């Protein structure tokens, strides 16, 4: 019955919205590779296949088949903006977040010079370090590393304050690390850095799958994440505040510079993938109706509904991850980051005292449990944390809201058996 699950996520309903669970291979697998890419919600798949089947054409034009294709793409873009509570003109849709960061770094040549400093964190995915490192080499600016603690892997706000100065032009930081999982103090960084006139760019790739970003509340200069990790097609979403975008070098064809949504579009992603984003709005709308009922705050915006559902998702994932952390506490394992759920996301990276990370991944795979190993593009962080074999790296167990308690039990059983 709809409207009867206001205080908890209805996991059976959620799993019914993902066609993957109807397939034998996915149905038998406990899937904890979510940080690398999630399953796709049914409405997204439906709109993707509709576009490819009905009007896979060059969109926009006088003929109906062209016009309708463009309308579907416009709907996908608008839905993403509505989900985030921002204007569609502030959204750039790229092939990936890596591409979007590279594009942003090139665009920031307009505001970075040989006297500038750019701060990145030692926690970050290499996509969010390398792009700025290359910008600094081109411009003569100084790249400043906000260090992670070698034991906990966490960032200290006090350390950041010591790095911040009048030459700081850009701070680019992860909202939560894809290894450590701690939710970083983005709001505090913004409040400290903005009075100095520097810009704050946030990598939300590892955060958004667990807590849908609240951009209107946070108010960063730019925010990036990947929709293929948030139950949709393979795209990168980049929000850019209007005043910030206007200060950047356009990365589009010169004749498109007058279109805000095209200024930072250096390539143009797959048309069908954009159109399919409209299905993500359908998924959140259906979830809201199921959990809160059609008459409960029915006038709420899609952004407000999404925030309400995201809170249930986060609570559900946190409960499952706490189950995992409790179950492995007596095993000879090192967790990179906190061994409690307070202040972190449901994304656990660990190493074993007795087995390689690859051996752990293989042991889980033998039980139809998907959890990968490696450095996950956070090589610098693993080196700082003392991981000697960074290719073997860590075992990463990453949750999504469609995981259930039995999935966790299977992981615990498999890890106990190998130890």
d(CA 103, CA 213) in angstroms, rounded, equals 21
Query: If DSSP codes are grouped into helix, strand and coil, which group holds residue 238?
Result: strand
| Cβ atoms of 197 and 359 closer than 8 Å | no
Look up tokens 């400043």; give the residue: 144
Q: In this structure, how many other beta carbons lie within 10 angstroms of the beta carbon of residue 379?
A: 17
pLDDT digits (tens, 9 = 90+) for 96-138: 999 999 999 999 999 999 999 999 999 999 999 999 999 999 9
| Cβ atoms of 340 and 361 closer than 8 Å | no
> Kind and range of the H or E element at 288?
helix 278-292
- The CATH class for the domain spanning 11-40+304-418 reads alpha beta
What pLDDT is stored for residue 268 in this prediction? 76
Look up tokens 């989900």; give the residue: 83
| Cβ atoms of 401 and 31 closer than 8 Å | no
Q: Which of 323-328's residues contact partners 24+ apart within 8 Å by CB, and which partners? A: 323/405, 323/408, 323/412, 324/348, 324/397, 324/408, 324/411, 324/412, 327/408, 327/412, 327/416, 328/412, 328/415
d(CA 162, CA 113) in angstroms, rounded, equals 21
Look up tokens 């959620």; give the residue: 14
d(CA 269, CA 102) in angstroms, rounded, equals 15
What pLDDT is stored for residue 298 in this prediction? 65
| Cβ atoms of 278 and 74 closer than 8 Å | no
Domain boundaries, the chain: 11-40+304-418, 50-279
Q: In this structure, how many other beta carbons lie within 10 angstroms of the beta carbon of residue 177?
A: 32
pTM: 0.96
What pLDDT is stored for residue 6 in this prediction? 77
d(CA 358, CA 104) in angstroms, rounded, equals 35
Q: In whole angstroms, how large is the CA radius of gyration of the chain?
A: 22
Q: In this structure, how many other beta carbons lie within 10 angstroms of the beta carbon of residue 223?
A: 27
d(CA 391, CA 375) in angstroms, rounded, equals 6
Q: In this structure, how many other beta carbons lie within 10 angstroms of the beta carbon of residue 49?
A: 12
Note the CATH architecture for domain 50-279: 3-Layer(aba) Sandwich (3.40)
d(CA 198, CA 172) in angstroms, rounded, equals 10
Low-confidence residues of the chain, pLDDT below 50? 1
d(CA 280, CA 209) in angstroms, rounded, equals 13
């Amino acid at each position: 019955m709809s409207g009867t699950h206001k205080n908890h996520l209805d996991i059976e309903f959620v799993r019914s919205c993902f066609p993957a669970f109807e397939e034998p291979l996915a149905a038998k697998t406990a899937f904890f590779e979510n940080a690398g890419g999630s399953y796709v919600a049914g409405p997204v798949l439906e709109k993707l296949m509709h576009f490819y089947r009905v009007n896979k054409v060059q969109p926009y034009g006088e003929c109906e088949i062209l016009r309708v294709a463009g309308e579907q793409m416009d709907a996908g873009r608008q839905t993403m903006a509505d989900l985030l509570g921002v204007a569609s003109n502030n959204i750039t849709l790229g092939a990936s977040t890596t591409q979007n960061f590279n594009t942003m770094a090139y665009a920031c040549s307009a505001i970075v010079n040989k006297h500038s400093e750019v701060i990145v964190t030692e926690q970050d995915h290499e996509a969010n370090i390398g792009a700025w490192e290359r910008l600094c080499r081109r411009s003569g600016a100084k790249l400043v590393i906000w260090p992670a603690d070698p034991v906990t892997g966490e960032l200290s706000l006090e350390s950041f304050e010591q790095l911040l100065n009048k030459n700081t032009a850009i701070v680019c930081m992860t909202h939560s690390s894809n290894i450590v999982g701690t939710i970083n103090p983005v709001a505090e960084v913004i409040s400290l850095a903005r009075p100095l006139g520097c810009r704050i760019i946030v990598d939300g790739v590892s955060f958004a799958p667990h807590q849908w970003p609240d951009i209107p509340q946070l108010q960063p200069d730019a925010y990036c994440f990947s929709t293929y990790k948030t139950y949709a097609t393979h795209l990168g979403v980049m929000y850019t505040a209007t005043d910030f975008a206007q200060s950047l070098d356009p990365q589009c064809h010169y004749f498109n510079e007058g279109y805000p949504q095209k200024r930072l579009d250096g390539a143009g992603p797959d048309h069908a993938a954009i159109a399919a984003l409209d299905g993500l709005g359908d998924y959140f709308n259906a979830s809201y109706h199921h959990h809160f009922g059609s008459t409960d705050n029915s006038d709420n915006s899609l952004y407000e509904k999404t925030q309400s559902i995201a809170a249930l998702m986060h609570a559900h994932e946190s409960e499952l991850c706490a189950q995992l952390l409790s179950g492995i506490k007596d095993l000879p394992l090192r967790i990179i980051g906190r061994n409690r759920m307070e202040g972190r996301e449901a994304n656990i990276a660990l190493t074993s005292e007795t087995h390689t990370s690859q051996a752990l991944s293989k042991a889980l795979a033998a039980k139809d449990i998907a959890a990968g190993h490696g450095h996950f593009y956070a090589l610098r962080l693993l080196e700082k944390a003392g991981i000697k074999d960074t290719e073997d790296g860590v075992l990463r167990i990453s949750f999504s809201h469609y995981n259930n308690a039995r999935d966790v039990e299977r992981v615990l059983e498999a890890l106990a058996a190998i130890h």
